[in-house]
Amino acid sequence: MSAAEKVQRADNLTLDTIVSLCKRRGIIFPGSDIYGGLGGTFDYGPIGAELKRNIRDAWWRANVYERDDIEGLDATILMNPRTWEASGHVDTFTDPLCDSLGPSKKRYRADQLFEEEITAYEFVDVTDGEPTPIVGAKLWAPTKKKAKEFYKQYWEKHLNLEGRRVKIEEIAGSAKTAKYSPDDGGELTEPRAFNLMLTTHVGPVVESAAQVYLRPETAQGIFVNFSNVQSSMRRKVPFGIAQIGKSFRNEITPRNFIFRTREFEQMEIEFFCKPGHLCKEGEWTDEQWHEHWVESRMNWYYRYGIAKENLRLRNQAADELAHYSKACGDIEYLFPIGWQELEGIANRTDYDLKRHMEFSGKDLSYFDPEMNERYVPYVIEPSAGADRSLLAFVCDAYTVEKVRDDKRVVLKLHKDLAPVKCAVFPLLKNRPELVEMARNLARDLKKEFYTVYDDTAAIGKLYRRQDEIGTPYCITVDVDSLEDQAVTIRDRDSMEQVRIGLDKVKDYLLAELKKE
Ligand code: ATP
């Protein structure tokens, strides 16, 4: 991931706004909420489950159905543990962990803390008039105000100083640029390597021989199936394998809502191609395939509505690259928390296949019939997070508009991603003929796309609800409908209304929903 960069979006959208919208509208809830939650887990509610499904479908459609060089796969989460020795995860899938030596004892990923100008502060007890320095009380902070906040939140209780009068004094000459605990101002321990893989056991006996890992990425399920897919589908290199599924990482500091969680979903492709040095004139090299995938993946985000100014490509510097990686382009999105990785597109060379050959003893090389020669393909890996994509799509779609003297919040999601495609309301719920007509219409539309019927509030409120979850069309059945057998369809973005005959509604919506 890029060195964190604090940048605010032009619209000043905050993550808190998105979190509260998601909770209010049934998109995302904290995981196991009634038990006080479980760090780094979130549950998708009825609207969020639909949105995520649509994102997965849009990805699958673009990469598997619309191309003719990709096959799909659904491999297991639990794999033979040798897989993770071969991939290098057992030895090297670590993050640098450090602890605050202050009273909070909080843990951090050392690479995610900022260096700042800080000064040391000490506490002096002046309760009895005679200033007495308090032993063991020294913290670091960028300002005195911050030092006081740290004191109030953690140190006062920890040192048992309640009821005493304490002065906080800057230690002259202590200023330096360094990392420190942003929670309590404590010094930090030296970083140590912490493996992010979560373990569990298979079989009835909990012993080390039965220990397996919850996969930390979906990629390895693809590598171990390379030959199965290639031979069963009679594929020639270049071709790719796509997979969507859950991955698990024991993140040290899960944070920023669904941006970094311990259980998440990945959408990954391993694209197998000929290594550049073996390519003939006119054949695409691994480097050209890499460029192709970067462009293709950027275009996918644009196609589904991400604004150009909120997406950028950042090529990793040589010293950031994983040891097996020849190049890696990170697609970054301007989240409310700043520019952060949305997807990584790496050129993994032949590292993974060769490692699996070594550890499994199986030949995973490919026989190229045109060259009449075997080689181990290179791999280009576009690796995206479904949850991070969802967060990006929601942030980008979030719009506040002034409507006369009021304002409305509307999620201008691409129609393919919108969780609910159409909502049907009777204008008056105490008129059984209107209710029946609206219910019948909704029932009919449900056969084509996700439609909801709602009569639980006044029409203005119903519109507001649907706007907030990005429903492209709302249909109102009114008193005139009984006469003219027509209804009013309101467009989410323009708020324009058209009157359409009942028998034409379905075709109208099907055509509108298809428009790019
Ligand atoms: P980071 O540096 O942010 O931890 P990474 O570079 O380790 O991410 P990859 O291993 O390249 O991430 O994973 C590919 C994609 O999977 C990421 O771009 C992201 O969208 C998603 N992803 C990775 N870790 C998480 C997580 N803990 N929570 C949610 N999504 C994640």
Report the alpha-carbon distance of residue 487 to residue 505 in Å, rounded.
8
Portions of the chain given CATH number 3.30.930.10:
4-93+196-395
Q: Where are the beta strands (DSSP E) in 132-257?
A: 132-141, 166-170, 176-178, 192-195, 198-201, 211-214, 239-248
441 CA → ligand 1 middle, Å? 43
CA 479 to chain centre: 45
Q: Supply the residue whose CA is at minimum distance from atom 7 of ligand 1.
A: 1
Residues with CB under 6 A from ligand 1: 1, 217, 249, 251, 260-261, 264, 266, 341-344, 383-385, 387-388
How far is Cα 314 from Cα 306, in angstroms, rounded to an integer? 17
- Looking at the CA of residue 383, tell me the nearest atom of ligand 1: 14
Choice from 41, 93, 388, 390 to test ligand 1 binding pocket (greatest atom count within 8 A of CB): 388
- Top mutation candidate among 251, 294, 341 for ligand 1, by most atoms within 8 Å of CB: 341
> Residue 241: beta bridge partners?
71, 270
> Is 188 in contact with 114 (CB distance < 8 Å)?
no
Determine the CATH number of domain 4-93+196-395: 3.30.930.10
The distance from CA 330 to its chain's CA centroid, rounded to whole angstroms, is 14
The pLDDT value given to residue 5: 56
Cα 119 from Cα 125, distance rounded (Å): 20
Write down the CATH number for the domain with range 420-514: 3.40.50.800
Taking Cα atoms as reference points, which of 170, 142, 166 lies closest to residue 152?
166
Mutate to test the pocket of ligand 1, among 84, 264, 294, 340 (most ligand atoms within 8 A of CB): 264
pLDDT recorded at residue 1? 40
Residue ranges of E strands in 218-282: 239-248, 263-273
The residues, ordered by sequence, that sit 6+ positions from 362 with a Cβ below 8 Å of its Cβ are: 227, 356
Where along the chain do the CATH 3.40.50.800 domains lie?
A: 420-514
Q: Which two tokens stand for residue 152?
A: 């109030």
pLDDT digits (tens, 9 = 90+) for 469-488: 999 999 999 999 999 999 99
Atom of ligand 1 nearest to the CA of 262: 27
What does R_g of the chain's alpha carbons equal in angstroms? 28
The pLDDT assigned to 6 comes to: 58
Torsion sign over Cα 247, 250, 251, 254: positive
Q: Is 110 helix (H, G, I), strand (E, B) or coil?
A: helix
Contact 509, 475 (CB under 8 A): no
Task: Note the pLDDT of residue 10.
Answer: 76
> What is the mean pLDDT of each successive set of 10 residues along the chain, which is 516 residues long?
59 95 97 96 98 98 98 98 97 95 94 93 90 87 95 91 89 96 96 96 81 97 98 98 98 93 98 97 97 98 97 95 93 96 98 98 96 97 98 97 92 98 96 97 98 96 97 98 97 97 98 92
Taking alpha carbons only, the member of 179, 178, 183, 217 closest to residue 197 is 217
| Gap from CA of 353 to ligand 1 centroid (Å) | 22
Q: What pLDDT was estimated at residue 209?
A: 75
DSSP letter at 317 equals P
DSSP annotation of 155: I
Which phi and psi angles does 430 have, rounded to 5°? -95, 10
